[in-house]
Structure formats: structure tokens, C-alpha cells
Amino acid sequence: MRTQKTRTQMKTRTQMRTRAQRRSRWASLVAAAAVMLGTGLVAAPPTHAADDPVEVVVDSDDVRADNVNGLTYKGLGVLSCNSTSNLLMDYKAEHPERYWQLIRVLFGGENPLVNHVKVEMGSDTNTSTGADPATMRTRDELADASRSPGFQLAADAKTVNPKLKVSILRWEMPQWVQLEWNKGTGTDEMYRWYKETILDVYEKYGYMIDYVNPDKNETRSPDISFVKWYKNAVVNDTDFASERYGVPAGEREAAAKAYHRIKIVASDENNTLNMGPAMLSDADLFGIVDAAGYHYTTEDRREGATDSSTYLPYTKLATGDNTYGQDKEVWYSEGTASFGYTDYRVNNTEGPNGASTGIGGVQSALDIANRLVKSYANSKRTHYIFQPAIGSFYEGAQYSHKELISARDPWSGYLHYDAAMYVMQQFTGFAKTGWENDTNTAGIWRTVPEASYSGVSGTENLDGSNGAPSYMTLADPEKKNFSTVVVNDSDQPKKYRIKAEDLRLGSDPTMEVWETRAADAGQRYDANFKQLVNEIRPDADGAYTYTVKPRSITTLTTLDKSADASTKQRLPKSGERAVLDSDESGKRGDTHDTYLYADDFAYDEEGKVKVGRTFQPYLASRGNQPRYMVDQTGAWEVGGDGVLYQYMDQSMKDTAAWNKNTPNTTVGDFRWENYKASVDVSFPDRDGALAALGVRQQKGMAISDAAYNLRMDPEGAWTFYEYGTARAQGKVAAAEGYRLAVEAKGAKVTAFVDGKAVATYDDPTPQTEGRVKLGSGFQRTGFDNLKVERVDGYTPYASAQLDNMDSAVTYEGTWSRKASLGDAMDWYRSTSTSTTAGASFTVPFRGTGVDIIGGNDGSAVLDVYVDGELVARNAKTAATDKRLAAYVLRGLPDGKHRARFVLKSGTLVLDALNTFSASHEEDGEVDTAPIRRALAEVAAPEQGAYTAASWDVFAHVVAAAKSAVAGQDGLDTLGVEQLASRLRTAYDQLARKEDAAQ
């Protein structure tokens, strides 16, 4: 009889032998890769011809249950940073049912889509799309993690997924840390910032941070000495009793134990791959770093001999095929989500012969799927972190529309779940994802290198149109089930032959086939999203054969998911994207008063808000952050006196930033058009202080990106700007504070100080829509009693927006409809462009007018039809920047219409269409005198003298003008101006018969 010791020795020898065999196989694979691997591309397997099935072998010996770090499939993560999560706290407060539904969709269930929240520590500066608050603005300030929405997002996610991982890193740092760091003596300050933030998270939210990257985000030269120093400091820290930490005596031992377990991730490089080789050549570093991560490329490093530390270092880390014989986690630690909205971009013309690429093409949902596959196949990364997964900041900042979920209108509760969510579920829904436990019993599925491959082109933006194989296999460590995810982003079908060898599939080896692709003609948009499309059985050779459709992702799994309700669950509907139009409290919607929005920053109307598993007062729950505001730069918080302050002062102002601007924050709706914004400003720190109020901000991240802005200093000096150009300036008596106001109605903009108009500007090329901005200098500055109000006689906002790719917009003639590699300043990163005379598009809408939005050069000339009638011939368009109106059509009777725009000459770029509904009674009486004067000017020409075509247009416009004078619902001042202008133009374009005959 064998003793326990003998059995253990035999088991150990068997494991060592198995590992040696695997390493031998893996070494052979690496050697073969030396021949096949080029500059970012992988040659197709030599046994595979273009028309042959792709052969995939899932061998039991290749399912490495003993690899507990590198090959365990951790699934997906979300990065919260740079304002990307700012508006989520408003969703939670205003529409808690929608917010908590989002939490369940992203983080809940047996197969969570997301297993990790990564938080980039803020410094009140703009390092991408905006600013996240610093948890410690000064050396002596107590850490306040509640300012950062990322920590709260993680706390909420843990209510549905307690095993969720949380990590932190920095990009920049608060000034008090930076001053010492720049001297080369700031390690203690950096550690203090990290530690006190981590312990504040622990006390406020009840969880310990799992991973820390001590280094700077996207460094090119990893700070290896500090990584080592930091890990040593964490392990040996015994100080948890300081009052600054707020850890009760009874919790200190548990806090210390959890703190000492913090793992290290490094080094979040972008464009360099230095940490992997460093770990392989430095035993101390190898032992310290638990996860190696880098950004925005699918590739490993391939330099030197195959046995060198610079040849496939990350692959060697993940597989354990390295000097130390241990496997390490390797992350795609920051990558993109789907660009734009898939439900719009399916209408592109980027496929062969102008066909759509469906849910595929560069920067599409299938592109992201290929990134997951190729980053695993080529560099063995088993975790992909989206930057961001949730876009909860206002559009118009750089990198807009690069997310799985859009959450930008908290007042309406609108949430858009992109079809890329279904594509990602094709991975996470058919495997047990996450982190293996210490006893290797959690059952996390392993990735299978020998049964995974990608030959699509590219290293970041991937192009699968070459039809090369792209697949990834995940397997149960007990070898009872497996799933192979296949991405086919080409326009041709692709046959796969998958053979399972020595897996324990049981008595029923049936394989289910789940598929996501775009709708066929006549189907609803999501008809083919994550559908069970087939069940197949192995042939006599034990192989499953299936042909994967073009432009699709398909999961072939031995799991039985056919009756699983969660797998079949549809994503929530988006809801209505209503315009922000509230009462004077700013909280309740009210379209019948004079307010569009208001905020007194007291929030007396607010109740408690759920945070994790507790309820907290409104302001405390959000670190005193104001409602609906997205900070671009600066420290914006509500003080104890109910005033909004910008706190970033001269002692903090030199903090590094990617986008350096003076402090400013943005609030409101991009569809606001004609309104008056006003706010009280005060100057607790008067020396050099400045306060600013801007209107009609559509894009950009500085106060000068508000189209019209008024700036004021404590001594009464004011300057009125169009963007960054001063248009007027003056001075009023110095005071403790002022009430600033800017009124924008049509092309006329007026600035007020303490209720008195100080400047008026008539813009020959006006920006007509956008949000409100507040700004300051680097001094403590107060803002209170913000109001955004309607202007008599003017429609206050666009009631709806249609994207150029919306299926409701129809096209005739030649158009290039592009979504790939689109500009973030184009709505949803898409445009439709034509240079062909006779090309047209038609838009149905309800209301009184429609604007053509897009960056144009002014060359396009249009014929405009409304409900089949030609209402404007040879209409000129304006030269406009992106997001501005190149052509404006107003003054129509309120109701349903179909507008058709025919290109006569030039180039037209269509980005979006804004439509306008009837104005409200509260907007006041509209003066129709301009129409009456125009009618008098054109008098009554003789119809018989003019050609029928020109007369028909003139007669139609005359009838519309007379109808408006008689009384027309929804007519506003801009409609009056448009009708008068169209009438004069139609008169000038009357063509005499004798001239036409010549």
C-alpha cells in the first residue's frame, strides 16, 4: 500500500513531467512562430488553404489546469477616469432604477460581462476627456475617495459581484506630490497619497483595492526602482492606527491583512513593451509584479533570439515558459470599446462595392472582438479593459463615442447599450471568467493557446476583411466543456472544423452555436444578436463542422445554454433622449415654465442615495460634486454654505496635465439653442481672480470653447468673447460679487453685468446650439444661483436629433457613408458625403424646422423640398465647423413633414439633423412684421410672365408667408426671418419666359 507521501511524490513527478511536455510543445510552437510571425501579422497555418476548413484541435493536454494566473480567462474590465464616469452619480440620484439596472447588466449574473473596475486617480487636471477630482488636494487634507465616481461604481458593482477586482493607478498627481517627485524625493508623498486613498476607500465602501500600479499611466520608461520600493513599503507597513486613516481599532488588523495582500500591476505602457523583458531578466521584479499590462496593440515584442527576454516576453510570462517556471497575468490594460453606435454604423457603405459591413469593419464591434482574440493569440493577454466601457461625460470632449454604454443624459434616464455588448457576451457568457482562488478550485476556465489563432491585419485598429482565421478557445479546467469563439469580419463565409481530443464531454456531446450579426433585410435591428442558431454533433472523426457567416461572431460551445434565461436575456431599451427642460429647482421636468434649468447648489429637494449597501445624504454620497456638471479642469465642489466653488488655486495650478486649461466645468444639453444663462459670482481669493460664464458650448474643453463667453475680474473689468476672440470690453464698479448673464437668440448675443447689457454682438456665422460653461482662474471662486431661461419669441432647443446613419434617413444617388476611423467631433463618428449632382437625402420629422449639421466648406448648393413641394431653389450652404448648422430650414407649420434635400453642385457633408418642434406659449408673441414687409416688397407679379417652375416655387412661398401672418402654431422669430428671406429669394429667382426661351 502506497503512503500519502509516496502518492504525493508520484503526483509531483507526474505534474513536472506534464509541465515539461507542455513546455516542450510550447517551445516548438514558439520556434515555429519565429518563422510565421512578422511585423504584427501572423501567417495562416501552413496546412490551411484558403478554401479548406479551418482546423481547430482542442486537446485535453492543452487545457492547463495548473496554470492559475497566465491562462485563466479573466474576461473584461472597465476603466473609470478623466470624467468618463462623472454623470453616473446623477443617473443614480435621478433614475436609480436605470442605474441599478446598468449595474446588474454589466457586473451581475453567473457570467458577469465585467469583472474589474480600474480607477485612474485624478488630480483635478484634464488628462483626456476631462478631469477627475484629486482625493487629496493638499498634504494635510484628509483623503476623500467619494469625490471619485470610480470608487463608488466599484462599490455598487460589488453588490452584485462580490468577487469583482478593483485596481488603481495614476497619470498625473496632485501638486503637493509632484513638487517633491520632481526633486527625486517624492516617494513618501506618493505612497502617502496612495495609502490614504486606499484606506479611505476601505472605510467608506468596505473593500480593499486588489491591484496597484505604482508607476505612471502610459509611461515609456517603467520606474522599476519605485515599483520595487512601493511593494516593499506595502508589505512592511505596520501603521494603521493614525487618526488620518479613520480605521476603527477593531478593524485595523483586518485592514492591515487586506492591505498587505495588495498585488502589483505594471506598467501600463503605450507604444513600448519594456516591462515584460525587465521581469524576465530581473528575479526580484518578477517576484514583485503580479500582472503585466500594456495598451493599444495586440502584439508581443519580437526581438533577438527566441530564448531571449525580448522575444515574446509576455507570452512567456503568461504560459510559464520562462526561467522561473511560473506563470503571470498579462492584461490588455487599456483598450477601446466600439466607436460610435453600432445601430447607426450598420448603414455604412464601406464594404465591397458600397455594401454595408454590418456590425464589422475597422473600429466596429467585430474589430473589438478581434482585438480580444488577437491580443490573446499573439501576446496571451487574458484580460481586456475598456477605456471606457461607460461613456458618462458630455459629447464634444475628445474621444467621444468610444464606449459600450452611453450615459450622457441623466435627466432623462436615457442609456444606450451598444450591440458590442452582445458581441462581448459571446466571450464571457460561455465560460466561467475571473480570477482563480488560492486552492485552484474556483473553476475559472483556461484559455487554450494551441486552439487559438488570429490572422487578421493590424495591431490596434484591426481589419478582418482578409478572411483569415480568427478564433479563441476557452475550456473548463476539469476538461468537461469548452467554447470556441470565432470572429469572421469578412464578406465571405468561413468553414471551421473543431475536434475535441480526450475531453470528458459526457454522453451528450452536442455543440450549441450562438451567433451575433447584423439584421437581414426586413428584420428588426437586433434580430440576430446573440441567438442560438444551430445545434451540431461531431462526425465519425469526432469533429464539429460549421460554416460561420460573414460579418459575424459565433460561439461554438459544448455547454447547454439553450434553456438559460440569462443567456437569452435582451439588453434594456434605450428610452427617450429627452431634452433637459426643468423647473426652477433643476430636478423636476417642466416644459411649461420659463426655465430650462436652474441650480442653487443647496439640493434641499434631494433625498438619500444608495451607495453600495448603505444610504447617504445627497452631497455626501458624491463627494460634494454638483449636479449634472462635467469638469474639464479644476476642483469644483459645493461648499458648506451651499455655494459652488472652484478650489484649485495658485498652490495647485502647476500640476501636470495633458490638456492644460484654466478651470472650467460644463452643464446642460447640447440641443439648447436660444436661452439666457445667468449666475452669481464671487471672489474669496481676489488677487488675480477671474470668473467666466459661457453659452452654446458644443465641443472642446476650455472656457474659450463656449461660443460666447463673458469674463469678469473682482475689480469690475469685463471682456466679452466669441470663442477666444475679444469682441468687447469695459469696466463697472468694483464689488464683492456680480451677476453675470449671456443671452443668445439667433445670431444676436448680449452680455449683462448685474442686469445691465454691456455688450451686444451680431455673429455673421453663429454657433446656434450648446451647453453652458462656468470658468475661473487658479483662485478660489464662487458660483451660485445658476439659471438657464427661455427667450421670448424663440424656440429654446432642438427637440430631436437624427444621425446621418439613422435608418429613418433615406438616400438616393451616390453617397459615401463612413464610420471607420471617424472623427470624435462628428456625431457618433460617422458622416455621409456626396459630390454628385442629383444625389439627395430625405428625412421625416415632426415639427417646424430642420437643420443640416456637419463640417462643410460652403460649396454645396441645394434644392429643398418639403412634403413634395419645392420651397427653395439653389439654396446656399454655409462654411461651417463640425457640429454646426450648414443649412437651416425653419418656419414650417407645426406637424409631420418630409424634407428632401437635392445636391445641385459642390460637396455636402451630412453629420446629423436637428429638428425643432412648436414653441411654447410662454415664449411670447412673435412679430411677423418682417414677413409683411417682404410681402409688400414682392407685391403681385403677373404669373403669365414667368416660367411655371420658378412661379410654382414663388407661389408656394407666398402662400406659406400669408399663412404665417394669419397665425401659425409654432412660429418663432427665426421662422419669421426664414420665411421673409425665402420669399425674397423666390421673387429674385423668378425666371421670365422670354429669357428662358433664349
Render pLDDT for 222-237 as a digit per residue (tens, 0 to 9).
Answer: 999 999 999 999 999 9
At 615 the pLDDT is 96
Alpha-carbon span 803 to 819, nearest angstrom? 12
Concatenated DSSP letters for 760-808? EEE-SS-----EEEEEE-SS-EEEEEEEEEE-TTS--B-SEEEETT-TT
Burial environment of residue 46 by CB neighbours within 10 A (0 to 12, 13 to 18, 19 or more): exposed
Question: Do the Cβ atoms of 116 and 78 come closer than 8 Å?
Answer: yes
Q: Length of the chain in residues, anyone? A: 998
DSSP 225-255: HHHHHHHHHHHH------TTTT--GGGHHHH
Q: What's the confidence (pLDDT) of residue 925?
A: 78
Q: What is the model's pLDDT at position 912?
A: 98
| Res 51: pLDDT | 75
Which pLDDT does position 995 carry in this prediction? 79
pLDDT at 996: 74
Q: Among the residues of 860-909, which ranges form H helices?
A: none
3-class SS letters over 605-616: CCCCEEECCEEE
Indicate the average pLDDT of the chain.
94
Residue 921 binned pLDDT confidence (cut-offs 50, 70, 90):
low
pLDDT band at 1 (very low <50, low <70, confident <90, very high): very low
728-744 tens-digit pLDDT = 999 999 999 999 999 99
- Tell whether the model's pLDDT for residue 727 goes beyond 70: yes
Q: Which residues of 341-356 are buried (b: 16+ CB within 10 A; e: fewer)?
A: bbbbbbbbbbbeeeeb
Average pLDDT over residues 194-219: 98
Whether 619 has a pLDDT exceeding 80, the answer reads: yes
Sign of torsion, CA 479 481 487 491?
Answer: positive
Q: Is the pLDDT of residue 16 over 80?
A: no
Tell whether the model's pLDDT for residue 11 goes beyond 90.
Answer: no
Closest to 45 measured CA to CA, from 450, 491, 465: 450
- Convert the pLDDT of each residue in 484-539 to its tens digit: 999 999 999 999 999 999 999 999 999 999 999 999 999 999 999 999 999 999 99
Distance separating alpha carbons of residues 411 and 579, to the nearest angstrom: 8
Q: What is the pLDDT of residue 388?
A: 95
> What's the sign of the alpha-carbon dihedral 536, 542, 544, 545?
negative
Residue 60 near residue 418 (C-beta atoms within 8 A) = no
Cβ within 8 Å of residue 867, ≥6 positions away: 897, 898
Q: In sequence order, which residues have a C-beta less than 8 Å from that of residue 350 and are 6 or more positions away?
A: 356, 357, 361, 817, 818, 819, 820
pLDDT in the model for residue 918: 83
CA dihedral 370→371→373→376, nearest 10 degrees, is: 160
Cell triple for 417: 447599450
For 585-655, where are the E strands, in sequence order?
595-599, 609-611, 614-616, 630-633, 636-638, 644-646
Give strand ranges (E) for 877-925.
879-880, 885-889, 895-905, 908-910, 912-916
Least confident of 37-46, 139-148, 156-165, 573-582: 37-46
Is the distance from CB of 719 to CB of 711 less than 8 angstroms?
Answer: yes
Please say if the pLDDT value at position 809 is more than 70. Answer: yes
- Residues 6 or more apart whose CB falls under 8 angstroms from that of 812 comprise 839, 840, 841, 842
Query: If you ran DSSP here, which 8-state letter would residue 134 be given?
Result: P
* Whole-number Å distance between alpha carbons of 200 and 148: 12
For residue 759, give every residue at least 6 positions away whose Cβ sits within 8 Å of its Cβ, in sequence order, or none.
710, 720, 727, 728, 730, 750, 751
As a whole number of Å, the end-to-end CA separation of the chain is: 117
For residue 125, CA distances in Å to 89, 151, 631, 656 come to 20, 18, 9, 7
pTM here is 0.94
Give the cell for residue 287: 517576484
Measured CA to CA, the distance from residue 975 to residue 17 in angstroms comes to: 83
Q: What is the mean pLDDT of residues 400-420?
A: 96
DSSP secondary structure string for all residues of 380-391:
---EEEETTSEE
- pLDDT digit string (tens) for 708-722? 999 999 999 999 999
The CA-based angle 393-92-90, given to 5 degrees, is 40
Lowest-confidence range among 23-27, 288-292, 772-776? 23-27
**667/680 Cα distance (integer angstroms):** 16
Which of the four pLDDT bands, split at 50, 70 and 90, describes residue 31?
very low
Q: Is the pLDDT assigned to residue 922 strictly greater than 50?
A: no
Paired residues of 211 in beta bridges:
167, 263
Per cent of the chain over pLDDT 90 is 92
Separation CA 813–CA 227 (nearest Å): 60
Q: What does the pLDDT look like over 940-976, one tens digit per residue? A: 899 999 999 999 999 999 999 999 999 998 999 999 9
Q: Has residue 26 got a pLDDT over 80?
A: no
Asked whether the predicted pLDDT for residue 344 surpasses 60, the reply is yes
Half-sphere exposure of 125 (CA within 13 A, CB side): 22
Q: What is the pLDDT of residue 50?
A: 64
Tell me the pLDDT tens digit for each residue of 35-68. Answer: 343 333 334 444 445 678 999 999 999 999 999 9
* Average pLDDT of the residues in 887-915: 97
In this model, does residue 8 exceed pLDDT 90? no
* pLDDT reported for residue 920: 60
The answer to whether the CB of 480 falls within 8 A of the CB of 467 is: no
